[in-house]
Structure 1
Amino acid sequence: MTLNLEMEYEENLDFDYEELAKKVIEAALDYEGCPYETEINLVLTGNEEIQQTNREFRNIDRVTDVLSFPMLDFTAPADFSVAEEDDTCFHPESGELILGDIMICIPRMQEQAESYGHGQIREFAFLIAHSMLHLMGYDHMEPEEAKEMERKQEEILASLGITR
């Protein structure tokens, strides 16, 4: 797995966010049975940058905690057979499946960790797990979809010993 990490936010975090991101990404991929080596792009950013991206791509002019940009258009969540039909989603040099991009707003992540009463490690890991499910075709627009995503997120984090 290749993780392309871009740190746009100037404040240092007090945990190894790159190692944690890799662990959660691998756990999510294993949980969903992804048969490919993958490439993920992760951008850690601030309020202004994520608000601008949210406005540009979703027409929502506000700060959000995380944005996910899937590369694949899954017909069913985690049905990776769709990748075989579209070879443009594989990196031409590495052969890895490019799942997409994740953008996390560090100040928002820190605020949420405090307001939910758990640490930044748990909140960061949650946002990665949440985004990975989006990159694998899951959504939470309907109540049943939201319940399924919540269950999967908690199971992925529990497999790593990251609990509330």
Structure 2
Amino acid sequence: MTINIEYEAVKKLEIPYEEIITSVAEEALDYEDCPYEAEINVLLTDNEDIRQINQEYRKIDSPTDVLSFPMVEYETPSDFDHLEEEEYDSFNPETGELLLGDIVVSVDKVEEQAEKYGHSMERELAFLVAHSMLHLCGYDHMEEEERLVMERKQEEILSRRGYVR
């Protein structure tokens, strides 16, 4: 798995963020039985930059904790069967890895929400990555049933890596 991490925020997270991102991303793909090596890009930024990205792509002029930009279209979540038919669109031609998508995380929100919810910054970052990885695998939470499925999967992924509340 290739995980390209860019850290553009001025504020530094004093946690092993690369290890957390890698661990949770790998666990999410294992949990979802992804049959391919995958490539994702992760940008760690601040509230102002994520607000601008949120405005540009979602027309919401406020900061958010995490944004997900899937590069794969699924008929059903985590249905990887059809991807080989679309090989040129879905795979990196140089590495053969599945181009899963991009994740943008606000380090400001990691700190704010860890304090708000009473858990560690490590757990908060792990949660945001698990949540976003499920989006990159085709899950959503617009409907109540979808939300419940995502919540269960997030908690199972996190608990398998020891990120519990």
Question: TM over 0.5: same fold?
Answer: yes
Q: For 1:82 and 1:92, how far apart are their aligned partners in 2?
A: 17
TM-score by length of 2: 0.98
SS at 1:69's partner residue? strand
Residue identity in the other structure for 2:17: Y
* Distance in 2 between residues matched to 1:70 and 1:111, nearest whole Å: 26
1:48: how far off?
Answer: 1.0
Gaps of 5+ in 2: none
User: Which residue does 1:121 correspond to in 2?
Assistant: 122
- Structure 1: give runs of 5+ residues left out of the alignment: none
Match of 2:107 in 1: 106
Structure 2 equivalent of residue 81 of structure 1? 81
In structure 1, the partner of 2:161 is 160
CA distance in 2, matches of 1:106, 1:54: 15
Percent identity, aligned pairs only, is: 58
Q: 2:38 — aligned with what? A: 38
How many correspondences in the alignment?
164
- Two-structure CA RMSD over aligned residues (Å): 0.7
Question: 1:60 and 1:73 mapped to 2: Cα distance?
Answer: 23
3-state SS, counterpart of residue 99 of structure 1: strand
After the TM superposition, which residues 9-158 of structure 1 pair with which residues of structure 2 at under 5 Å, given as runs?
9-87=9-87, 88-158=89-159
Kindly provide the amino acid, as one letter, of the partner of residue 58 in structure 2.
R
**Which structure 1 residue ranges, 4+ long, deviate > 3 Å from structure 2?**
none
- Return the offset for 1:11: 1.8
Alpha-carbon distance, 1:85 to partner? 2.3
